[in-house]
Chains A and B, each alone.
Chain A
Amino acid sequence: MKLPATGIASIVLLACVGCGPGRVSAPAADVGAAEKIRATLVSSSGAAAAGDAASAAPTGTGWATLRGRFTFAGAAGEAKALVVDKDTEVCSKAGVKLLDRSLLVDPSTKGIANVVVFARKASRSKPPAAEAADGATPLSSLFDQKNCEFLSPVFAARVGQPFEVRNSDPIGHNTNIAGTSFNQLIPAGAGTAYKPDAETGMPTMVTCNIHPWMKAYAIFRKDGYVAVSAKDGSFSIADLPAGEVIEFQVWHERSSGPNGAVGIEKPELKWTPKGRFQVQLAPDEIKDLGALEIPAGALGT
């Protein structure tokens, strides 16, 4: 009776297991709740938001500056060489190897470059013309590429302010900014203007499809309150509205947090795992947050 037994066993197994491992189960909608929501969506009357005006009203006057410096608790390790297999006469000129720039730590200061800090929302902002005073790093108006590398690994710009996408190489590139309308040919030695028309939220990837190893990130903010940390990890955002609690978002390419958010232990700034912290500034204050140490485990390898 060996054979039927095996057959039965397999039938039982099949009946119980079904046909393969299948997909992860997806939740179903709550039908009752859905109908209720639909009722509120369809009746447009009475939907006028009451009491929402409070959050938009400016609560202070004057402007202030925020500074700080990101350091890394771990070791950066040896930067990996990128695979450069096209146009090597330009891209690997004189045997120069292009390196992975996703984690740049300055050995002497422990400063970590290309950390992005931006204000999530501010009730008011200074118009663009008044920017770049107070010695703060102004937002660049040039996004360049040379030797098959984007010169800014992380590029910040203000929505509505045009910047030039330039190609300083003797060969053609294309610049493809994910999530935007921009993917254009940039002929050798030429450039074209791009005016970002919407905020990106977190930084978005910039690539060249002709040379797949080329990668950078771009972030566009309406209020221009965004900074990218320098080689020594320092950043500065000027002309912030004083007298209100501003929430900032911190991002790094290699962060293992959600959407690249960098969470650090800093209860006095109400730093959350979503990489956000809060600061309130007084008029004309220049607040220095000092050294902000990112733990080694926060950045994936």
Chain B
Amino acid sequence: MKPSSPNAFLSLLLIACGGVLAVGCGQTPPASYRLNMVEATKQRLTPVQERQVATILEAMFGTPDAPVALPETGLDESKLRLASGPVRSDIVGRKNGLYREHCAHCHGVTGDGMGPTAAFLNPYPRDYRPGVFKFKSTERADKPTHADLHRILVNGIAGTSMPSFALLSEPKIEALVEYVKYLSIRGETELALMRAFFELDDDAAGVLPETREFLVDETLSPIAEKWKSAAAAQIAVPDMPADIDLAASIAKGRELFYGDKANCVKCHGVTGLGDGQANDYDDWNKAIVEIRKEIEGGLSKPASSGGTAEEAAEERAQAAWLARFSRVVEGDALKPRTIPPRNLRLGLYRGGRRPLDLYYRIHAGINGAPMPAAKGTVPPEDIWHIVNYIRSLPYEFDGELGVDRPMVARDRF
């Protein structure tokens, strides 16, 4: 039939388009790891260099459906297989693809903390790629122990969207802990590779050496080594004195909280509500804030008149880079959010509510967050006093006995 009228033509078009929409574009491609485009653009990698990083990473770590763990990583590949790939059951009915079933919607296939639901959560899900974790029993810059990550998976993180996975069997939890380590080691390796381009000598012609010496000995092993030594980096906590006078300890802790030595008051506020220094960012968000500042500063810079043709070309290249960077940050990073200091009146502690957990937080600070370490300048017994004071805060008696009024937090402080 020859389309004789515009009407008939439009109907045909409608059918054709409807077909496209209904069928889609064929089979879903297998899941792939997305390159860390923010760092790639920050390091001004060329498309060829970006592709080299993607290729090396695939060689070292495989794909989301078929992960590879080189022996130097110290990871158990059989555990990774249980956690990776699409959600499915194997021949004996065992569930596979645990990471995508339970984690990827928030933490992303790549572990970049940018799964489909991430933008709606506060705080944002953790981005594993920098290899920084907050709630752990090791010194500030050290990796969490296996038991630390295990505890987070089983208990969840109170006050955040991270739920408890206590209902999963032990082998499944083990598989997921291993997979989180795998994604983290992969992400840190990716960052190291991207940064290595700048460190190249000029005669390397902008190509990373694809040798075992460079990729494994110089790049992967130092990262994997830190994970392996985490258990040895655990903080030694002296016991709280058994005969401690709790009331006196709380009073001493209060003094430290407001004093110049521990200085908790500066960020957690005179009320302890976390309303002191409240316009700071954590390391993940601060990185994006700094990049945004650089982009905005660069784009608002007026074009210089005059100058040689070479200078003008350089300026144009810089402007093009800034424009691309701005698009990359728009699509590959979440909108930065400030990090409020913890409200200590709620009795809700993200890293756990045991006195030991609070001791770890105060001793080592919180890696990735502004919270500094007290070790070195505040002795252990004083840290215990602060722990005791903090633990008393949600229940602090605030007024005269017998005064009858509703106990609303807003009224009290």
Contacts and interface: CB of A to CB of B under 8 A. Distances in A.
Interface of A: 1, 4-5, 8, 11-12, 14-15, 21-24, 26-31, 33-38, 40-42, 44, 47, 49, 52, 86, 170-172, 174-176, 178, 180-181, 183-188, 190, 192, 201, 209-210, 212, 247, 256, 258-259, 261, 272, 274, 276, 297, 300-301
Interface string B300-344: 010010010001001100100000100110011000000000000
B365 A183 contact: yes
A212 to B, nearest CB: 6
Query: Is chain B's binding surface mostly helix, strand, loop or mixed?
Result: helix
A44 B212 CA distance: 8
B331 A184 contact: no
Contact of B377 (A15, A185, A256, A300): A185
B398 interface: no
A28 B54 contact: yes
Contact of B332 (A24, A49, A212): A24
A23 B328 CA distance: 7
A91 to B, nearest CB: 12
Contact of A185 (B6, B139, B142, B373): B373
Contact of A26 (B18, B34, B202, B263): B34
A183 B372 contact: yes
Given A27-B35, A172-B261, A4 B10 contact: yes
Given A8-B10, A181-B141, A209-B370, A26 B35 contact: yes
Contact of A42 (B18, B54, B70, B140): B70
5 contacts: A4-B10, A15-B17, A29-B51, A37-B210, A41-B70
Contacts of A14: 21
A24 B328 contact: yes
Contact of B56 (A37, A52, A201, A210): A37
A35 B55 CA distance: 9
A4 B15 CA distance: 13
B277 A184 contact: no
Contact of A297 (B260, B307, B377): B307
B182 to A, nearest CB: 16
Interface string B3-43: 00011001001100110110000000000101101000001
A41 B216 CA distance: 7
Interface of B: 6-7, 10, 13-14, 17-18, 20-21, 32, 34-35, 37, 43-44, 47, 50-51, 54-60, 68, 70, 139-142, 195, 198-199, 201-202, 210-213, 215-216, 260-263, 266-267, 277, 279-280, 283, 297-298, 301, 304, 307, 311, 314-315, 318, 324, 327-328, 331-332, 365, 370-378
A209 B268 CA distance: 12
Nearest to B45: A27
A11 B298 contact: no
B345 to A, nearest CB: 21
B262 A22 contact: no
Nearest to B331: A23
Nearest to A48: B213
Contact of A209 (B280, B297, B304): B280
Contact of A184 (B201, B311, B373): B373
Nearest to B322: A256
Contacts of A180: 141
Contacts of A41: 59-60, 70, 212, 215-216
Contacts of A183: 140, 365, 370-373
Contacts of A274: 198, 202
B57 A301 contact: no
A259 B58 contact: no
Most buried by A among B324, B373, B378: B373
A5 B10 contact: yes
A88 B237 CA distance: 37
Contact of B266 (A22, A49, A172, A261): A172
Contacts of B59: 33-38, 41
B60 A187 contact: no
B263 A12 contact: no
Given A34-B56, A47-B213, A209-B372, A181 B140 contact: yes
A31 to B, nearest CB: 7
Contacts of A15: 17, 20-21
B372 A27 contact: no
A104 to B, nearest CB: 19
A5 B6 CA distance: 10
